[in-house]
Amino acid sequence: MAQWDDLRVFLAVARDESLSKAGKRLRMDPATVGRRIGRLEEAYATPLFQKSPTGYALTDMGQRLLVHAIRAEQSMQMADEEMSGTTGALTGQIRIGAPDGAANFLLPQVCARIAEDNPELEIQIVALPRLFSLSKREADFVVAVSPPTAGRLMVQKITDYQLSLAAAGSYLSTHPAITDLAALQDHPLVGYIPDMIFDKELDYLKELGLGTPRLASNSVSVQLNWLQQGSGVGIVHDFAMPFAPELHRVLHPAVCLTRAFYLVRHEDDKRLERLNRFAEALSAGLRQEVARLEGLT
């Protein structure tokens, strides 16, 4: 019979797909992690991982064990909550995955306020323009721009937000006037790399009937830097505009896009009061911060 401590090691390797990364997570030597996995595989008389050039991938039996290991982890967390009480400050580690627009311009200040109220809480923000696996616990929460339709997930809408065409004042003063969308064909566009757009909600230029960007990046921050330098015209979050006072909205309010942020969690986490309380604080904080920053634009 597997012990919880062995399952804890198994979960770390399943999530990180690497003995060395799991060792860092567990503060354990990679060789020790490997021995513990070997012991678990011996106990179950079956391989749990398939080693490949890209790392450790779960076998079919490993996938089956993952479901039970996550439930065991949640039971331990619930026991800790019940024994320690949940009326005090939040503690432990919470990881949030988010597209880099939210991660750069909203989450730092929202999470800083939550952390200030909960001194023993460790908050991690994973700012990557991609999808996250909640089943493998790459994150406890995901801030998404589209509500997922598959998987055992809880999804709640956080808030709407606005995006506008924008360019630097230095650019606008030295280039032909932009009187309508058709006029943009004479201006260099800044936007996402088309084949790296991971969510259709981010394909702003296509929605507006505009061409391929001359300057493209999968990072919102890179795009914003180009625009601030006067390199062209692009779509900017209204909540990011206060961080770039050089920028001016173009064709506003005729051209204005509306999107929404959603908070996504694994369904099994709904019994964890700690995560429920954090979800409430995070959602309220994001709503307030979007409203505040858009009000400054």
Domain assignments of the chain as residue spans, ordered by start:
4-84, 92-159+260-296, 160-257
Range 278-285 average pLDDT: 96
In this predicted structure, the answer to whether residue 131 has a pLDDT above a threshold of 80 is: no
Q: Mean pLDDT throughout 138-155?
A: 87
Rounded to an integer, the average pLDDT of 225-231 is 97
Q: What is the pLDDT of residue 179?
A: 95
Q: Which CATH architecture does the domain made up of 4-84 adopt? A: Orthogonal Bundle (1.10)
Topology adopted by domain 92-159+260-296? D-Maltodextrin-Binding Protein; domain 2 (3.40.190)
Note the pTM of the prediction, 2 decimals: 0.75
Reported for 204-207, long-range contacts at CB under 8 A and 24+ positions apart, including other chains, are: 204/163, 204/235, 204/257, 205/235, 207/257
Q: Residue 150 has what pLDDT?
A: 78
Residue 67: pLDDT above 60?
A: yes
Mean pLDDT, rounded, for 30-47 = 92
Residue 127 has pLDDT above 90, yes or no: no
Question: Stretch 76-81: mean pLDDT, rounded?
Answer: 66
Domains 92-159+260-296 and 160-257 in one fold: yes
- Residue owning tokens 């924008």: 166
pLDDT average, residue stretch 185-205: 93
Task: Identify the CATH assignment for 160-257 out of 3.40.190.10, 1.10.30.50, 3.90.110.10, 3.30.1180.10.
Answer: 3.40.190.10
